[in-house]
């Protein structure tokens, strides 16, 4: 494939747009307009992590990636077009001797450093591997070594490279049509002792300084990813974030829309900061609160409600309500399906194949989204093409069998292909509409016949809110609390469309 870099970036953006419903971007103002630098991020979601950075970063960016990925179909061509530099890991080169592997990596390091000197940004995942933990793994020294190598290679008088930490946040990293947030943080402030020049032949100082800078990077990545010790604790922090927001809105007398990823992430940062601080000063109170939040969380899950569902307006006391709900359900569940039936039938084989393929091909959970995306890119168009061929040949057979039927295999095939493609897109909208309608009906029913449990949960949420507020009193937390219950953040934007 003779792809240019611009075309490759556009392809990556289209793929990201297909997988995610919304991608939010923050901190673009932190990216300098001149000079090169290094982006460092944690690596929780396989190939979707670099794809998000490529899609959202406002300047040219090149990656270092393990050389085995270049052998993947489609992915390998994209990586080459994007200028990706191969990194040779010992685990991937078991037959090669150590010296040849080191020589290959020195060449790769120099290629990335030269890109930085030329004004581009090089992006690395210092953990070295993607993973499924809620915290960054132990960092390798590659990013730090790249920084010092670039400083050695860049011409005197040029703008020195910077290091920008990147936060990657997913609301559900393997789920199709979920949301993501990419945060570009302010360039890292590096102490003067770590900025002293290193001579080309001073290997000992180079390695020592790289290890020291890596130790500086580790807590920075922990902070920008809001790392927690376990996923259970991560879930509890998100539950506190959600209940606090819902209770604030109720007390302010407003009805809020679902938070975007920017607000979710900032809200989580506030809760996590308060938790870590008060765990040092009030450990018994914090442990008791977490245990009580856990019980509240389990009770919510048992009735399949979320925090803000407790405040939905009560069911309308009207004799027309059952009719209105029946009409809404009829439109969603009866009228739409015939329109989408053919498109759904064409896409069904690919849809039902993707999950077992992803489960079988994914070595770890973190690979699931990558496999789903790659499988979907191949299987869905293949389904449309196969259906188009079958209908085209079928139309030709009908023409030959019945004189009254005109000969139009191409028109039938192209129409079928378009129905498959358009019907698949409409099916996504339809599924989301069905979910929202069904959820609306369930919430109304639970408010009608489960008012006692809802009152109890609302009272418990209010009590938990008061305890949280008491513990956070006097703390300097990220962001600001707005009058309507939201937490304030810089405005976020959708991933840019212009290719740098």
Full 3-state SS string of the chain: CCCCHHHHHHHHHHHHHHHEEEEEEECHHHCCCCCCEEEEECCCCCCHHHHHHHHHCCCCEEEEEEHHHHHCCCHHHHHHHCCCEEECCHHHCCCCCHHHHHHHHHHHHHHHHHHHHCCCEEEECCCCCCCCCCCCCCCCCHHHHHHHHHHHHCCCCCCCCEEEEEEEEECCCCCCCEEEEEEECCCCCCCHHHCCCCCCCCHHHHHHHHHHHHHHHHHHHHHHCCCCCCHHHHHHHHHHHHHHHHHHHHHHCCCCCCCCHHHHHHHHHHHHHHHHHHHHHCHHHHHHHHHHHHHHHHHHHHCCCCHHHHHCCCCCCCCCHHHHHHHHHHHHHHHHHHHHHHHHHHHHHHHHHHHHHHHHHCCCHHHHHHHHHHHHHHHHHHHHHHHHHHHHHHHHHHHHHCCCCCCCHHHHHHHHHHHHHHHHHHHHHHHHHHHHHHHHHHHHHHHHHCHHHHHHHHHHHHHHHHHHHHHHCCCCCCCEECCCCCEECCCCEECCCCCC
pLDDT band at 26 (very low <50, low <70, confident <90, very high): very high
The predicted pLDDT at position 493 comes to: 45
> Average pLDDT, stretch 175-183?
90
Distances from the Cα of 375 to the Cαs of 371, 372, 380, in angstroms? 6, 5, 8
pLDDT higher than 80, residue 482: yes
The predicted pLDDT at position 499 comes to: 42
Cα–Cα–Cα angle for 80, 66, 221, nearest 5°?
110
Q: Which domains does the chain have, with CATH numbers?
A: 5-224 (3.40.1130.10), 231-315+475-492 (no CATH), 321-452 (no CATH)
> Average pLDDT, stretch 243-261?
91
pLDDT band at 266 (very low <50, low <70, confident <90, very high): very high
pLDDT higher than 70, residue 496: no
More confident residue, 78 or 198: 198
The predicted pLDDT at position 360 comes to: 78
The predicted pLDDT at position 278 comes to: 96
Percentage with pLDDT > 70 across the chain: 83
Distances from the Cα of 13 to the Cαs of 61, 81, 126, 172, 380, in angstroms? 14, 14, 24, 19, 18
Neighbours of 459 (CB within 10 A): 11
pLDDT higher than 70, residue 24: yes
Q: Is 390 left (phi over 0), alpha (psi -120 to 50) or beta?
A: alpha
pLDDT band at 455 (very low <50, low <70, confident <90, very high): confident
What are phi and psi for residue 164, nearest 5 degrees?
-115, 115
> Average pLDDT, stretch 417-435?
70
More confident residue, 357 or 494: 357
pLDDT higher than 50, residue 398: yes
pLDDT band at 331 (very low <50, low <70, confident <90, very high): low
Percentage with pLDDT > 90 across the chain: 42
> Average pLDDT, stretch 48-53?
93
pLDDT higher than 70, residue 429: no
Q: To the nearest whole number, what is the mean pLDDT of the chain?
A: 83
More confident residue, 61 or 157: 61
Range of lowest pLDDT (119-128, 215-224, 261-270, 430-439): 430-439
pLDDT higher than 80, residue 490: no
pLDDT higher than 90, residue 29: yes
pLDDT band at 323 (very low <50, low <70, confident <90, very high): low
431, two tokens: 């599924």
CA distance 23 to 19: 10
pLDDT higher than 90, residue 256: no
Is the CB of residue 69 less than 8 Å from the CB of residue 49?
A: no
> Average pLDDT, stretch 195-219?
93
173, two tokens: 């990293």
Range of lowest pLDDT (164-173, 231-240, 364-373): 364-373
**Residue corresponding to tokens 């990220």:** 478
The predicted pLDDT at position 441 comes to: 64
pLDDT band at 387 (very low <50, low <70, confident <90, very high): confident
pTM, whole model, 2 decimals? 0.78
pLDDT for 66-118, tens place per residue? 777 777 777 777 888 888 888 776 555 656 677 776 777 788 889 999 999 99
pLDDT for 215-240, tens place per residue? 999 999 999 999 999 999 999 999 99
Range of lowest pLDDT (57-66, 316-325, 426-435): 316-325
The predicted pLDDT at position 146 comes to: 94
pLDDT higher than 90, residue 438: no
Q: Is 253 left (phi over 0), alpha (psi -120 to 50) or beta?
A: left
Half-sphere exposure of 382 (CA within 13 A, CB side): 11
The predicted pLDDT at position 447 comes to: 58
The predicted pLDDT at position 236 comes to: 96
More confident residue, 392 or 330: 392
């Amino acid at each position: 494939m003779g792809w240019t870099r611009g075309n490759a970036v556009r392809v990556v953006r289209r793929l990201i747009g297909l997988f995610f419903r919304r991608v939010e971007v923050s901190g673009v103002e932190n990216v300098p307009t001149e000079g090169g630098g290094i982006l460092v991020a944690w690596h929780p979601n396989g190939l979707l992590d670099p794809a998000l950075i490529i899609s959202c970063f406002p300047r040219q960016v090149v990656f270092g990636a393990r050389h085995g990925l270049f052998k993947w179909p489609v992915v390998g061509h994209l990586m080459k077009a994007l200028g990706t530099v191969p990194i040779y890991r010992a685990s991937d080169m078991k037959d090669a001797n150590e010296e040849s592997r080191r020589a290959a990596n020195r060449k790769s390091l120099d290629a990335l450093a030269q890109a930085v000197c030329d004004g581009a940004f090089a992006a690395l995942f210092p953990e070295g591997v993607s993973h499924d933990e809620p915290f960054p793994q132990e960092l390798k020294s590659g990013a730090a070594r790249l920084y010092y190598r670039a400083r050695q290679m860049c011409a005197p008088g040029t703008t020195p490279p910077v290091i920008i930490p990147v936060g990657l946040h997913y609301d559900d990293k393997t789920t199709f049509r979920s949301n993501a947030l990419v945060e570009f943080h302010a360039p890292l402030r590096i102490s003067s002792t770590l900025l002293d020049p290193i001579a080309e032949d001073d290997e000992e100082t180079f390695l020592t300084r790289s290890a020291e800078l890596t130790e500086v990077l580790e807590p920075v990545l922990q902070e920008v990813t809001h790392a927690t010790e376990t996923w259970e604790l991560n879930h509890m922090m998100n539950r506190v974030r959600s209940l606090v927001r819902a209770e604030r809105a109720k007390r302010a007398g407003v009805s809020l829309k679902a938070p975007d990823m920017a607000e979710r992430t900032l809200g989580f940062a506030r809760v996590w900061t308060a938790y870590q601080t008060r765990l040092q000063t009030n450990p018994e109170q914090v442990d008791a609160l977490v245990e009580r939040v856990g019980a509240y969380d389990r009770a919510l899950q048992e009735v399949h409600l979320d925090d803000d569902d407790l405040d939905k307006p009560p069911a309308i006391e009207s004799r027309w309500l059952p009719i209105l709900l029946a009409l809404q359900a009829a439109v969603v569940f009866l009228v739409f399906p015939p329109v989408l039936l053919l498109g759904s039938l064409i896409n069904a084989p690919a849809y039902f194949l993707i999950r077992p393929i992803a489960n079988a091909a994914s070595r770890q959970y973190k690979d699931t989204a990558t496999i789903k995306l790659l499988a979907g890119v191949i299987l869905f168009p293949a389904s449309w093409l196969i259906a188009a061929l079958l209908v085209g040949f079928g139309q030709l057979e009908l023409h030959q069998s019945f004189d009254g039927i005109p000969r139009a295999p191409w028109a039938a095939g192209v129409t079928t292909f378009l129905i498959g493609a358009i019907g698949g897109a409409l099916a996504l909208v339809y599924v989301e509409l069905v979910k929202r309608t069904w959820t609306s009906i369930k919430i109304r029913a639970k408010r009608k016949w489960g008012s006692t449990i809802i009152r109890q949960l609302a009272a418990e949420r209010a009590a938990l809110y008061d305890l949280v507020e008491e513990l956070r009193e006097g703390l300097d937390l990220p962001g600001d609390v707005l009058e309507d219950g939201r937490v304030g953040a810089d405005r976020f934007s959708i991933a840019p469309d212009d290719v740098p």
